[in-house]
Structure 1
Amino acid sequence: MVGRGDLTSAEWERLEPLLPRGGSRGGRWSEHRKVINGVLFRVRTGVPWRDLPERFGPWETVYKRHRRWSADGTWQLLLTRVQAAEAAEGGIDWDVSVDSTTARAHQHAAGARKAAPPPVAPQKGAHGGANQGDPVLRKLSARLAEGAAGECLGRSRGGFTTKIHLSADGRCRPLSLLLTPGQCGDSPQFEAVLEKISVPCVGPGRPRTRPDSVSADKAYSSRGNRRYLRKRKIRHTIPEPKDQRANRRRRGSAGGRPTGFDKDRYKKRNVVERAINRLKNFRAVATRYDKRAYVYLGTVTVAALTIWLRT
């Protein structure tokens, strides 16, 4: 009996031929369908791994499979293969939109093991804030911040957060995913998100990496991003903020020509917002519980894979 949120027979028929055959150390994997349904249950509900229902088997098996496939790129490979099959049928709308969203990190996401710096004992007689100017303490704080950033955790207006950068096709499905700490800006990640788009051809030929067009909000408006899109010959619709428009006019001919803007094409930018809403229907995506960034990226990738299978 198929539970709510489990893979249907049609979805399993699409996914089964793409799954790895062998297990670790030459052994055989446990039943793929049951374990994947366990992963889907956890991604959809956000429950602790230990609280998985018994029908999915031992929770350790489900967790270790998800962690391993997140680390070795199996989830990403499955997503890429599903995208390739969809592209072979002409089912991808290559009018792409780019945006980002912030996921609040749960307290369970903190505390990942790392090489901790040696503890610094407070000076005798020092009161609160007395050591703020100590170079040793400044170095310690920098190392702690670096460790958090390595797991894509950072401080933003929403608190302790991770930011998900993504591109979506015209049918509200994620094409590429990228994680950064929550305080990172959108514009610097624009090129990286587009560079991660790679949909292989079924048969000979290179993967498709270039969209027909790209839409983004004014947070992505910069001369560098527009130069990158022109270099790749990608049509784009990115509104120009008032301050950039005023600065361009102030510089006269040195400011360059006005940027083009297609209002009708920009109306389609909501597809990426809808793709974000679909991703955040998965509670383990909307709130980050995973300590390691690669495991959380695997969680987001599983959610994206599910969207592709069910759209």
Structure 2
Amino acid sequence: MRRHELTDQEWELLAPLIPQASTGRPRVSDRQVINGMVYKIRTGISWRDLPERYGPWKTVYTRFRRYALDGVFTQALQQIQARADAGGDIDWLVQIDSTIVRAHQHAAATGRKGDQQAGRTGRSALGQSRGGLTTKVHLACDGQGRPLAILVTPGQRHDSVCARPLLERIRVPRTGPGRPRCRPDHVIADKAYSSRGFRAYLRRRGIAHTIPEKSDQQRHRYNRGRQGGRPPVFDRHIYRQRNIVERCFNRLKGFRGIATRYEKTAVSYEAAVTLASFLLWARSV
């Protein structure tokens, strides 16, 4: 095994989830190709610069793109989460947050000029910020700092707008009969998620939460007097654990292909983040 390649344990977890070709000529080994994908995400090099030991770069890219569109890496992430949940290994004290990722000039080339504006706001998830084109990665992780759900949006999208879609992406299947688990026991978030709508959404779902109140919201409530209502419950001891999601981002950005976005499409970039998340899980179970 070379550096930046799958260990035997990681390959045993991923191999059963890789689609197998039933017909056609013999193809490059699946493990060899997956190792090429991991190497590319780890180092952030161009697809064309992949070492020859991983086979033709077009083969690696084509299969990565196919797996991204088919949701293969998402299914793999859910399966390893289901395995951990069956063993009681998931801490459902969930933290949510987001991080900004700069887009490389290769990712910014969305094609024809007429498609650039549409690509930035929609298909490509690229947003115009002061520092240039950026993408925002929204993440929900468990109490041990392992990703449960991922959402990729343009860089200027506000966190509170994406909080509900992010939580609705949490879907941990059961190993036996029963519906997938979608509801955390507790949610921890920073002030960016402090809104009446999001708090009401969490209460409707029966999810306890620890979110600090913004200073302007406090002033508004004080100015209204008795009509302002009581302040939301806030447990400082629980809130201290919010650094877990920051450490999770730190491990994900250890992959150079994630710390800087090189992929042109949001589907490919999200697939890369999902594959990296799977590797974080595989090393902890």
Instruction: Report the TM-score when normalising by structure 1.
Output: 0.87
Which residue of structure 1 aligns with residue 260 of structure 2? 287
Aligned-partner Cα distance in 2 for 1:194–1:203: 23
Residue type of the alignment partner of 1:148: R
Q: Alpha-carbon deviations, 1:170-207, whole Å to 9, x = none?
A: 11111101111111111110001100000000010000
CA shift, 1:241, in A, is 1.2
CA shift, 1:29, in A, is 5.3
Which residue of structure 1 aligns with residue 132 of structure 2? 159
Which residue of structure 2 aligns with residue 187 of structure 1? 160
RMSD of aligned alpha carbons: 1.5
Which residue of structure 2 aligns with residue 233 of structure 1? 206
CA 1:105–1:251: 2 relative to 1, 3 Å? same
User: Matches of residues 244-259 of structure 1 in structure 2 within 5 Å?
Assistant: 244-259=217-232
Which residue of structure 2 aligns with residue 5 of structure 1? 4
Give the percent of matched residue pairs that are identical in Structure 1 and Structure 2: 53
SS at match of 1:20: coil
Which residue of structure 2 aligns with residue 52 of structure 1? 50
CA 1:161–1:12: 2 relative to 1, 3 Å? same
Contact 2:93 2:142 in 1 (8 A): yes
Gaps of 5+ in 2: none
Gaps of 5+ in 1: 118-142
Asked if residue 73 in structure 1 is aligned to residue 71 in structure 2, the reply is: yes
SS at match of 2:35: helix
CA 1:29–1:76: 2 relative to 1, 3 Å? farther
Work out which of the residue numbers 217, 221, 237 in structure 2 matches 1:264. 237
Aligned-partner Cα distance in 2 for 1:69–1:18: 11
Instruction: Report the TM-score when normalising by structure 2.
Output: 0.95
- For the pair shown, the structure with the greater C-alpha radius of gyration is 1
Where does structure 1 differ by over 4 angstroms across 4 or more consecutive aligned residues? Answer: 25-29
User: Matches of residues 14-163 of structure 1 in structure 2 within 5 Å?
Assistant: 14-22=13-21, 30-113=28-111, 117=114, 144-150=116-122, 151-163=124-136
Which residue of structure 2 aligns with residue 135 of structure 1? none
Asked if residue 205 in structure 1 is aligned to residue 175 in structure 2, the reply is: no
Aligned-partner Cα distance in 1 for 2:213–2:18: 45
Aligned-partner Cα distance in 1 for 2:106–2:135: 14
Aligned-partner Cα distance in 2 for 1:48–1:110: 15
CA 1:158–1:171: 2 relative to 1, 3 Å? farther
Aligned-partner Cα distance in 1 for 2:150–2:210: 21
Aligned-partner Cα distance in 2 for 1:235–1:293: 32
In the alignment of these two chains, the number of paired residues is: 283
CA shift, 1:6, in A, is 1.1
